[in-house]
Structure 1
């Protein structure tokens, strides 16, 4: 059953305090300004959490998972990051890789690589196919700057497929049924 507000889990790595703030600003924009039910770890209460269980539950219950591209996420997502950094990001990326492997069609639709201002497409992990599959470059954290992503999340295409018209009946140009002699 479709929801009135799509539920979106945000997966990212804690690369720096500035990156955390940028991700929180983007998530707040989607949630407060655009009606997207965003799940973000920064908004969880201060009580003790089993973060792996929390992330897995929310990933599986969400309509989409936004993967915020960054140098740290690319390293962790592709298995090159140091094991002692970003353990949450490593665990989430491993879960997402496994889900993608288990049902490529469904999870390709649900996993949305997002490039925030100040970042580049080269920061999308290879397992998310930065060149062979869609990704969303955010020009600015505004409705205009997020238009393509918002259209995908809300199922509102930019252009509608026109109706299929009737095929014309074309007389032959030669032969017995043609009008030429």
Structure 2
């Protein structure tokens, strides 16, 4: 059971009742609440009571008011002593989230003590039972109990649009999206059998790799170029065995062991370099397109301006 101490200033009966109401709500929700108006009896050691309440509680709720601010800032009375205890914990770099400001009305700057400057408060200024009070009180309860709201799952906007258009996600490309081809894996059921007839290369076979989408002809040319002339390769590299068909890359004349040891890295490198080069190409096309559009606009503006100045009367 979480232990809660409510720190406040005895200003008037209405304020005391409000503090008592908050305490009763917390107790009704299964929390152990300490409030001086409930617990202190004549003759009790007030300083010891406050020290134990602050140190032993899991959370300290500070009900902010003009009276509390005045006493806390000037270290007057019980509220001033509690403020001293709280700031001592702050200076010892203990859990500052333990101390939660509660706003119940007034101008925040006029009711918030200096040691709470910058702390986010819980607004319980609305009438008890109102929608606003219940929402904010629930947030307080959620914080005290260490609960977290389950976040909405990430929504793939492109996927949603594709569903509405009745096309695949891969068929869509936002204007500023990079063109990216990825290898998703080996299509194992389409790997061919080697001849193994003793002839040269008869132990080799064809291995297809699934791509995330079918690349266009320009990308295919770039990929084949970088496969045949990779920037990094081993002595086991086999130029000339790659081709692209639909959404597949085919290596025709290799073995799975070679793919595992050598060709995988070269494949990834060739795909990466083809992606980079093709995106550079797209960027140049976009710049050229903007240049031509700007030139056309300037030309049309010039024609319109001069045509308006030519009179035929």
**TM-score normalised by the shorter chain: which range applies?**
0.7 to 0.9
SS at match of 2:101: strand
Q: Which residue number in structure 1 is paired with residue 135 of structure 2?
A: 144
Question: Would you say 1:170 and 2:170 are equivalent positions?
Answer: no
Measured at CA, do residues 45 and 66 of structure 1 come closer, stay the same or move farther in structure 2, by a change above 3 Å? closer
Q: Indicate if the aligned counterparts of 1:97 and 1:127 stay in contact, CA closer than 8 A.
A: yes
Which residue in the other structure is 1:90 paired with? Answer: 80
Q: Equivalent residue for 1:153?
A: 144
8 Å Cα contact 1:6-1:153 kept in structure 2 = yes
The number of equivalent residue pairs is: 162
User: Which runs of no fewer than 5 residues in structure 1 stay unpaired?
Assistant: 164-168
1:24 is the counterpart of 2:20: yes
**Is 1:100 aligned to residue 108 of structure 2?**
no
C-alpha distance in structure 2 between counterparts of 1:61 and 1:161, whole Å: 36
Q: Provide the secondary structure at the position in 2 that maps to 1:95.
A: helix
Deviations 1:42-99 (A, max 9, x none): 11153421011011112111100000000011112222x7x4xxx1111111111111
Greater Rg over alpha carbons, structure: 2
Distance 1:100 1:162, change over 3 A: farther
Q: CA deviation at 1:157?
A: 2.1
- Counterpart secondary structure, 2:120: coil
Structure 1 stretches (4+) deviating beyond 6 angstroms?
172-175
User: RCO greater where, 1 or 2, for CA within 8 Å and sep 6 or more?
Assistant: 1
Instruction: Tell me the TM-score normalized by structure 2.
Output: 0.46
Taking the TM superposition and a 5 Å limit, the aligned residue runs for 1:1-181 are 5-32=1-28, 34-44=29-39, 46-79=41-74, 83=76, 87-103=77-93, 106=95, 108-116=96-104, 118-122=105-109, 123-129=111-117, 132-138=118-124, 139-142=126-129, 143-160=134-151, 170-171=180-181, 176-178=273-275, 180=278
**Residue number in structure 2 paired with 1:166:** none
Deviation of 1:146 after TM superposition, in Å, equals: 0.8
Looking at secondary structure, tell me which structure has more helix per residue: 2
